[in-house]
Chains A and B, each alone.
Chain A
Amino acid sequence: DVKVTQSSRYLVKRTGEKVFLECVQDMDHENMFWYRQDPGLGLRLIYFSYDVKMKEKGDIPEGYSVSREKKERFSLILESASTNQTSMYLCASKFSGGSNQPQHFGDGTRLSIL
């Protein structure tokens, strides 16, 4: 069974801090994704990576960056956290072979910026 693990379920940080959210998958998936989930807005794509060291902006990349140094790990970085980045963050991974491969999600990190 695919395992996508996010390092923290709950995280509280202060405005202006640099925040790292970590995601690790154990299925040798090429593609990895970071979403944020907000009530009434669904899931919105922040960044994705189709392979090691490759990254692409999603629909809401402002204020975020990512790092993919190893295939199994995809990190989301909030360069200077702000209160409007309080949200649920979901990581997902997917095998690259074909459009009908499902994205497998982690349990999410609920991030609060005070």
Chain B
Amino acid sequence: GENVEQHPSTLSVQEGDSAVIKCTYSDSASNYFPWYKQELGKRPQLIIDIRSNVGEKKDQRIAVTLNKTAKHFSLHITETQPEDSAVYFCAASLYTGFQKLVFGTGTRLLVSP
């Protein structure tokens, strides 16, 4: 089955810096890669996703890149702000009519003012 590894487990940056979180997956057939953000005590929420037929997707300060050959994908956050502090989870899925996500272990991002 699919296995997703996520690094780093914790990441501390200064406000305004960029942050990069990386994930690798094992099943080359996986074709959908979402990123979820979970603030302390709150529910996970989708922030961006990418399909395997796309190499990069951007939404304001966040972007995701996908390298299918190397089987890794990354989340990039530019101009970080304190409200970006949260746990971020990557996931991978082979969509076959329903979405069975395999999540990474999470990255705790701390943005200091």
- Please give, as numbers and ranges, the residues of chain B lying within 8 Å of A4 by CB-CB distance: 43
Contact of A90 among B1, B44, B99 (CB under 8 A): B44
Q: Assess whether B99 is in contact with A44, with CB atoms less than 8 Å apart.
A: no
Contact among A48, A58, A108 with B43 in the assembled complex (CB-CB below 8 Å): A108
* Chain A residues within 8 Å of chain B by Cβ, number: 25
Contact partners of A108 in chain B: CB under 8 A: 43
Beta-carbon nearest neighbor of B91 in chain A: A43
CB < 8 Å neighbour of B32 from A41, A45, A99: A99
B106: A residues at CB distance < 8 A: 42
**B99–A107 contact, CB under 8 A?**
no
Interface string of A61-103 (1 = CB under 8 A from B): 0000000000000000000000000000010001010011111
Inter-chain contact B105/A90, CB cutoff 8 Å: no
Measured in the bound complex, the distance between the Cα atoms of B32 and A31 in whole Å is 17
Q: How far is the CA of A52 from the CA of B112 in the complex (A)?
A: 46
Q: In the assembly, what is the distance between CA of A102 and CA of B34, in Å?
A: 8
> Chain B residues near A48 (CB, 8 Å)?
98, 100
Do residues A99 and B102 form an inter-chain contact, with CB atoms below 8 A? no
B68 in the interface (beta carbon within 8 A): no
Given contacts A48-B100, A103-B46, 10 further A-B contacts (CB under 8 A): A31-B99, A42-B89, A59-B1, A96-B97, A96-B98, A99-B51, A100-B51, A105-B44, A106-B43, A108-B43
| Residues of B in contact with A (beta carbons under 8 Å apart) | 1, 6, 9, 31-32, 34, 42-46, 49, 51, 89, 91, 93, 95, 97-106
> A residues within 8 Å of B by Cβ?
4, 31, 35, 40-45, 48, 50, 58-59, 90, 94, 96, 99-103, 105-108
Q: List 15 A-B contacts (CB under 8 A).
A: A4-B43, A42-B89, A42-B104, A42-B105, A43-B44, A44-B103, A90-B44, A99-B31, A99-B93, A100-B51, A102-B34, A103-B99, A105-B43, A106-B43, A107-B43
6 tightest A-B CB contacts, nearest first: A99-B95, A102-B46, A105-B43, A42-B103, A43-B103, A42-B105
